[in-house]
């Protein structure tokens, strides 16, 4: 045991050296704060609340248990979710790989050789002899990170890992938004189907009444043809709505990774809130720190700066050390004796001399990549501001249109009630009442479509504000 302890002395010394000199200077430029127009503003123009932004699981404000279950199922089982989590796990392993060169590579080699040599070709009397050789050797190699190349490579891998985490949040945000959007559309489409069925039945009654009057010669053929055309239009609208509902259900199932014809339970559309409260947008500067796509763009700038340092370091000499300690003997029983001890310590330095300017071109390329990354960051940040302002404006405008449409719907309801009263009193026939009823149903469909637009604007606003992110910090299905 005492002799074998000598086996690790020189490689252990190399480990000590790597600990004393873990990294040299870094040649990567220091990151600077990127100025984005509008980032210093105190509020968004379309934000009427002027309150601080508070992150929530925003879809729960609809108070729909079926919707909540759909979102949870999609976040847990969606193929996109599994794919982004697998890529994130791969980046974690890549970060470990990138950090490996910061410590010496240590290996052990054990070998044995036995050979026989025939002496007949050398001596007249012939004969032979047998030779044995055994070896046990521990080796360690290490590159001194004088210029910070290895350390910057490891940092770049960790920045890529952080970027992958931001991309995960982008994917989960998108899944949340798409789920709520598809679910709301499906719920509205199913409500529209029931209303259009009622409109078709009413149109059939109108067509039947007008046909009888036409055959009796009390009305013109033009009125009869108009009634038939109205019935055909209502049937066509019903067919298109059914097709749309089927497509929406299949899309939501595909998003969740389910069989596309799996039945989906939706809450009746009329139970959705008819008016949604304004959403505080907070400060523009906070938005840049909150949105994962903007943070991802910022990490790309950091990664580009580190690549500059790596490219610069490639112009300078690289210094490496190799240490070997072991034993060699012709007799296995004497292998670890002190007399069989051997060791080697090697140092090397490599300086690039001629590569047709490739390494200097790599430095210039890295600087250009930094410029491009900064430009992309500004573009992403400005696009975030634009999306918030657009969503706030659209949210407010749709709310006003919904209020006006609700007033119009109430007027149609009154007209229908008046026509019904007149019909029941016998002052008019059934045709004016059926016509008023169909007009009310069509107006109710329009009002529901505006309510759906209101919900969809709320979805876009949540995405634009980076809302719902805290729910993705521990994503369902993510391995620890």
Domain of 30, CATH number, reads: 1.20.1600.10
Instruction: Give DSSP secondary structure letters for 29-45.
Output: PPP-PPP-TTTT-SS-T
Per residue in 163-222, pLDDT (tens digit) is 999 999 999 999 999 999 999 999 999 999 999 999 999 999 999 999 999 898 888 889
Average pLDDT for residues 250-257, to the nearest whole number? 97
123: part of which helix (H) or strand (E)?
Answer: none
Which H or E run contains 103? none
For the chain, how many structural domains are there in total?
Answer: 1
Residue 416 has what pLDDT? 93
Q: What is the SS3 assignment for 49?
A: coil
pLDDT at 10 over 80: no
Q: Read out DSSP for 208-246?
A: HHHHHHHHHTSS-HHHHHHHHHHHHHHHHHHHHHHHHHH
Pairwise pLDDT comparison (405 vs 477), residue with the higher score: 405
Predicted local distance difference test score (pLDDT) of residue 179: 97
Domain assignment present for residue 442? The answer is yes
What percent of the chain has a predicted confidence (pLDDT) above 70?
88
Say if 79 falls within a structural domain: yes
- What is the model's pLDDT at position 187? 97
Question: How far, in Å, CA of 238 to CA of 197, rounded?
Answer: 7
Residue 334 lies in a domain: no
- For residue 335, the model assigns a pLDDT of 65
Q: Are strands 341-350 and 105-118 parallel, antiparallel or unpaired?
A: unpaired
What pLDDT does 477 receive? 47
CA angle (211, 212, 214) in 5-degree steps: 65
Look at residue 328 and give its three-state secondary structure: strand
| Mean per-residue pLDDT, 293-316 | 93
> Bridge partners of 458?
none
Would you mind telling me the total number of residues written for the chain in this entry? 480
Domain assignment of residue 235, given as a range: 26-104+146-317+358-472
Residue 38 lies in a domain: yes
pLDDT at 352: 81
Predicted confidence at residue 120, as pLDDT, reads 61
Instruction: Please determine, for residue 4, whether its predicted confidence score (pLDDT) is greater than 70.
Output: no
Whether 14 maps to a domain, the answer reads: no
Check residues 440 and 56 and name the one with the higher pLDDT: 440
pLDDT tops 60 at residue 18: no
User: Taking the C-alpha atoms of 35, 36, 41 and 47 in order, what is their torsion angle to the nearest 10 degrees?
Assistant: -160
What's the order of all strands across the beta sheet hosting 341-350? 105-118, 128-144, 318-329, 341-350
Q: What is the pLDDT of residue 163?
A: 95
Residue 21 domain flag = no
Residue 479 is predicted with a pLDDT of 45
Which of 275 and 308 is assigned the larger pLDDT?
308
Q: Judge whether residue 339 has pLDDT over 80.
A: no
Distances (CA, A) of 202 to 186, 222, 234, 426, 440: 24, 19, 10, 19, 11
Would residue 128 count as lying in a domain?
no
User: Which pLDDT value is given to residue 414?
Assistant: 95
Task: Please give the share of the chain, as a percent, with pLDDT higher than 90.
Answer: 54
Q: How confident is the model at residue 100 (pLDDT cuts 50, 70, 90)?
A: confident
Of the pLDDT bands very low, low, confident and very high (cuts 50, 70, 90), residue 460 is very high
214 in Cβ contact with 435 (< 8 Å): no
In a domain, 125, yes or no: no
CA distance 91 to 83: 13
Q: What is the pLDDT of residue 113?
A: 87
When pLDDT is averaged across residues 395-406 and rounded to a whole number, the result is 92
Q: What is the pLDDT of residues 103-142, one digit of tens each?
A: 888 888 888 888 877 766 666 666 666 788 888 888 888 8
Q: For residue 453, is pLDDT > 50?
A: yes
């Amino acid at each position: 045991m005492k002799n074998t302890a000598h086996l690790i002395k020189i490689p252990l010394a190399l480990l000590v050296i790597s600990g004393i000199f873990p990294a040299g200077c870094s040649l990567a430029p220091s990151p600077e704060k990127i100025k984005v127009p509008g980032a210093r503003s105190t509020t968004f123009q379309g934000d009427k609340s002027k309150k601080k932004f508070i992150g929530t699981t925003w879809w729960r404000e609809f108070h729909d248990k079926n919707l909540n279950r759909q979102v949870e199922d999609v976040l847990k089982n969606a193929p996109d979710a599994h794919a982004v989590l697998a890529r994130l796990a791969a980046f974690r392993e890549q970060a470990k790989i990138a950090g490996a060169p910061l410590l010496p590579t240590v290996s052990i080699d054990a070998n044995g050789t036995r050979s026989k040599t025939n002496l007949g070709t050398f001596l007249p009397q012939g004969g032979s002899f047998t030779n044995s050789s055994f070896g046990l050797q521990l080796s360690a190699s290490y590159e001194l990170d004088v210029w910070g190349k290895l350390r910057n490579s490891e940092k770049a891998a960790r920045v890529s890992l952080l970027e992958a985490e931001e991309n995960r949040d982008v994917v989960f945000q998108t899944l949340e938004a798409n789920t709520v959007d598809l679910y709301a559309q499906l719920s509205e489409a199913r409500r529209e189907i029931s209303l259009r069925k009622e409109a078709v039945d009413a149109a059939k009654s109108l067509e039947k009444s007008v046909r009888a009057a036409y055959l009796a010669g009390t009305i013109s053929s033009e009125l009869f043809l108009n009634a038939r055309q109205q019935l055909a239009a209502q049937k066509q609208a019903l067919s298109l709505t059914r097709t749309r509902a089927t497509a929406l259900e299949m899309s939501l199932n595909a998003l969740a990774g389910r069989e596309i014809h799996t039945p989906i339970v939706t809450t009746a559309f009329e139970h959705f809130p008819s008016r949604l409260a304004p959403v505080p947008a907070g400060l523009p500067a906070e938005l840049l720190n909150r949105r994962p796509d903007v943070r991802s763009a910022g990490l790309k700038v950091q990664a580009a700066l580190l690549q500059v340092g790596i490219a610069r370091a490639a112009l300078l000499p690289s210094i490496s050390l190799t240490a070997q300690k072991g034993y060699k003997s012709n007799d296995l029983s004497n292998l670890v004796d002190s007399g069989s001890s051997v060791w080697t310590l090697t140092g090397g330095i490599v300086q690039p001399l001629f590569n047709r300017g490739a390494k200097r071109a790599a430095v210039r390329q890295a600087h250009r990549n930094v410029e491009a990354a900064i430009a992309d960051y500004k573009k992403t940040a400005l696009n975030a501001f634009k999306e918030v302002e657009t969503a706030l404006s659209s949210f407010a405008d749709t709310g006003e249109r919904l209020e006006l449409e609700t007033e119009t719907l109430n007027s149609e309801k009154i007209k229908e009630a008046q026509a019904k009263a007149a019909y029941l009193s016998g002052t008019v026939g059934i045709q004016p009442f059926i016509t008023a009823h169909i007009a009310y149903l069509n107006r109710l469909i329009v009002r529901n479509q505006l309510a759906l637009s209101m919900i969809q604007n709320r979805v876009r606003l949540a995405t634009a504000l980076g809302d719902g992110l805290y729910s993705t910090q521990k994503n369902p299905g993510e391995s620890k």
